[in-house]
Amino acid sequence: MPRSYTPLRYPGGKGKLAPFMKELFRHNDLCDGTYVEAYAGGSSIALTLLLEGYAWEVVINDIDDLIYAFWKSVLDDTETISRKIQDTPVTMEAWYEQKQIHLHPEQYTMTDVGFATFFLNRTNRSGILQAGVIGGKNQDGPFKLDARFNKRDMLERIRLIAKYKNRIRLFNQDAGELIKTVTPSLPAKCLMYFDPPYFNKGKSLYKNYYSPSDHAHIATLIRALSHPWIVTYDNVPEIKKLYTGEAYAEYDISYSAHISRIRGAEVMFYHNLELPSAPYTRSLRASACSANAVEGLLNQAKSMAVSEDKSISQLLKETPEKRLKDETNFKSAKRRQLALLKQGFDLGTKGQMTATRETLHERG
């Protein structure tokens, strides 16, 4: 299971596609470019690409004000939301309070709303904001509402994300609007990813679902883009019709995003991109695995560089320089001490011992 960086649980979250997206970045020479996630939700892919050094910058967007409030608080009010996570007891009483905030968000601060989103996302079934609480209101189920609320892990994730805030552009727009807002500023090295609400299940999972004409409208806007783009959907004829003529691959996300030519439950359409040695085979995954140890070290170096506000190359250059400096300092300190010993000290006794070993010992 690849590491997850997002603090949000997301029904239909695409975290499992992250290894594939990393390969896609490498294969299409997109590393250090910009990654745009127009229906970000939990932003799992965006965070993986950014924190593991594939994308230099990410654009995340979600039309849902409650989701936006969470990301906004993480990026712009990290300390307050972290303190709330640390100090709020995970009880039914707190759950009712957060529910109240979501019912009247206009009466609260952005960070109150962002925290309520986080709290309900972690304590509700499947992370669905409108769903019931884990364990039921009487808390008599096998799991209690705090089953998914590991405060330490969540706080670590939030702090790590906040370190990268200068490289995260956050929007709260309709995906179609976002296309107009960001495309003029995108570098040539970029990937736009669209994960619209599903054609079939969308209505049951999300507050903001799409009607057939919404699907058609966004398809027209996406297909007019010249930048590299990728769209994922449930594999249904209605959607395939909207993307007729575009390259596509079918896959099954429940099998770790195994992209294959056999019919899968999901489909991806793509443009201006080459899929990494499709089908996404075992050998591809093996090569990514063997690179994991190096990747882990590199990630730590990247985190360190971000927290010290340095580039990776500055950091790497510093290591041999620091070792050399330490070594030189040690050698000259040793030389000084040996010279002092050789020279000796004037203790004012004119070379005569005036006290015995025993009396000196007593004085100490």
Ligand X SMILES: C[S@@+](CC[C@H](N)C(=O)[O-])C[C@H]1O[C@@H](n2cnc3c(N)ncnc32)[C@H](O)[C@@H]1O
In the complex, the residues that contact ligand X under the rule CB under 6 A are: 10, 12-14, 38-39, 41-42, 44, 61-64, 67, 174-175, 195, 197, 206, 208
CB of 17 to ligand X, least distance (A): 8
Instruction: Please say which residue, 44 or 73, places its beta carbon nearer to ligand X.
Output: 44
Helix, strand, coil percentages in the chain from 3-state DSSP, rounded to 5 = 55, 10, 35
Say which residue the tokens 């670590």 belong to.
156
Instruction: Please say which residue, 64 or 246, places its beta carbon nearer to ligand X.
Output: 64
- Cβ–Cβ under 8 Å, residues 285 and 19: yes
Say which residue the tokens 């560089």 belong to.
305
Tokens (6 digits) for 357: 């070993």
Q: At what angle do helices 44-51 and 18-27 cross, to 10 degrees?
A: 50
Instruction: Please say which residue, 201 or 336, places its beta carbon nearer to ligand X.
Output: 201
Instruction: Please say which residue, 208 or 299, places its beta carbon nearer to ligand X.
Output: 208
- For residue 77, list its beta bridge partners: none
CB of 220 to ligand X, least distance (A): 14
- For the stretch 245-251, contacts whose Cβ atoms lie closer than 8 Å and that sit 24 or more positions apart, written own/partner, are 246/270, 246/271, 247/271, 247/273, 249/275, 249/278, 251/280
Instruction: Please say which residue, 144 or 217, places its beta carbon nearer to ligand X.
Output: 217
Q: Say if strands 266-271 and 229-234 run parallel, antiparallel, or are unpaired.
A: antiparallel
CB of 11 to ligand X, least distance (A): 8
CB of 124 to ligand X, least distance (A): 15
State the CB neighbour count (10 A cutoff) for residue 326. Answer: 10
CB of 85 to ligand X, least distance (A): 20
Taking CB atoms, the residue at the shortest distance from ligand X is 41
CB of 40 to ligand X, least distance (A): 6
Instruction: Please say which residue, 135 or 196, places its beta carbon nearer to ligand X.
Output: 196
Instruction: Please say which residue, 68 or 95, places its beta carbon nearer to ligand X.
Output: 68
State the CB neighbour count (10 A cutoff) for residue 297. Answer: 10
Residue 170 CB contacts under 8 Å (≥ 6 apart), including other chains: 59, 60, 61, 68, 71, 72, 75
Instruction: Please say which residue, 33 or 197, places its beta carbon nearer to ligand X.
Output: 197
CB of 21 to ligand X, least distance (A): 11
Instruction: Please say which residue, 139 or 173, places its beta carbon nearer to ligand X.
Output: 173
What are the backbone dihedrals phi and psi of residue 322, each rounded to the nearest 5 degrees, phi first? Answer: -70, -40
CB of 211 to ligand X, least distance (A): 11
Residue ranges of E strands in the chain: 33-37, 55-61, 168-171, 190-194, 229-234, 247-252, 258-260, 266-271
Nearest to 160 by CA among 43, 69, 67, 65: 43
CB of 63 to ligand X, least distance (A): 4
Instruction: Please say which residue, 70 or 164, places its beta carbon nearer to ligand X.
Output: 70
- One-letter amino acid for residue 106 of the chain: E
CB of 149 to ligand X, least distance (A): 19
- Cβ–Cβ under 8 Å, residues 58 and 106: no
